[in-house]
Amino acid sequence: MTHENFYAGNTEYVIIYKNGTHHIMEIAYLDNGNDNSEIIFTGHYEKCLAEKERIITEYAESLF
């Protein structure tokens, strides 16, 4: 399993390759030190990169 991390604001995302496909997971850190993660997107690597750009762009636009 390989992975690639990226951030949009304080939220961490990870592109992982598992079970023959790529997924984007959103990692939410809890106050008790644990993390809560969920898969928010599944698709080919190129689709995950496009979704990554969408997430980052959406975050940047929310700042204005």
Confidence of residue 62 (pLDDT cuts 50, 70, 90): very high
Residue 32 and residue 19: Cα distance in Å, rounded?
30
Residue ranges of domains in the chain: 3-62
Rounded distance, CA 33 to CA 51, Å?
A: 28
Task: Say what the pLDDT of residue 44 is.
Answer: 94
Backbone angles phi, psi at 48, to 5 degrees: -65, -40
Query: Model confidence over 2-21: pLDDT tens digits?
Result: 688 999 988 899 999 988 99
pLDDT digit string (tens) for 23-44? 999 997 767 767 778 999 999 9
